[in-house]
Amino acid sequence: MSRIASTFAHLSGLNRKALIPFFTVGDPLLELAVPTMRALVSGGADILELGIPFSDPMADGPTIQRASERALQNGVTLTDVLAVVSEFRLTDDQTPVVLMGYANPIERLGLDAFATQARDAGVDGVLVVDYPPLEARHLKAALSLVGIDTIFLLSPTTTEQRMREIAQLATGYLYYVSLRGVTGAGHLEVEAVAAQVARIRSCARVPVGVGFGIRDGATARRLSEVADAVVVGSRLVEEIEASIPTEVPHRAETLMRQFRLAMDGAQ
């Protein structure tokens, strides 16, 4: 059983839902990535999503775009991201790590080389925003050979047929984009999300996580009642952006604990 599957199984036994934070590696400094990962786990994160810095994102709103720009200005590459995972694994061999990014850096490295290096680093899942799922079979094959899950996005505009096709391809979990637009944008309607998650569950073989637009613990709690996981991205990246570098791990941990307590019904 993969680390991702094991984590969801463990949480299900506890009647809890997964909390998945996202931040961009290298923002504000590369050397803060591993301390921030450890702090997020200490704050209650169950799975970590690491953003691979990229110059031309399509799904990311201004907050995460700025994070990528800062990381790129720091010279951070895909190779650096893999090195961060390797370092994290020296002290944590339990928490699943998912890489989230775009196709160009992976294509430049080569699918097979990327898959092998990701496995060696300790990566558990990969989500590539701009690989159309039905055209991502080569990526999925390369990752499957080394035991890495391929995670796909679904959106409010995904058709029923395409939803079923994507659900058959996905491993690890499915990531439902809860609103039309980019990360951090729009107003989240929990009732509409709940209806869509129910549709996805009818054909999904893996857990369903929800992300985009989740800015507070109350919303995370409501979504955790209908989904298997809640992804917190822009809100965390905003916290990082507003912090002086030495405060980043502490403030990330504090924010995660607020979401964790809310999701567990403690506040």
Active site residue 264: no
Would you give the DSSP letter of residue 183? T
Residue whose token pair is 């499957």:
144
Six-digit token string for 267: 């506040």
**Residue of 49, 124, 149, 239 with catalytic role:** 49
Q: Decide if 120 contacts 156 (C-beta within 8 A).
A: no
231 three-state secondary structure: strand
**Residue of 27, 60, 124, 253 with catalytic role:** 60
Cα(53)–Cα(27) distance, integer angstroms:
9
Cis before 21 (ω within 30): no
Cα(131)–Cα(133) distance, integer angstroms:
6
Residues 6+ apart with CB under 8 A from 245: 28, 29, 32
Instruction: Choose among 179, 229, 174, 156: nearest CA to 61.
Output: 179
Active site residue 49: yes
Residues 6+ apart with CB under 8 A from 54: 68, 72, 101, 102, 104, 105
Cα(260)–Cα(221) distance, integer angstroms:
9
Instruction: Choose among 145, 90, 151: nearest CA to 121.
Output: 90
Cα(47)–Cα(40) distance, integer angstroms:
9
Which residues are tagged catalytic?
Answer: 49, 60
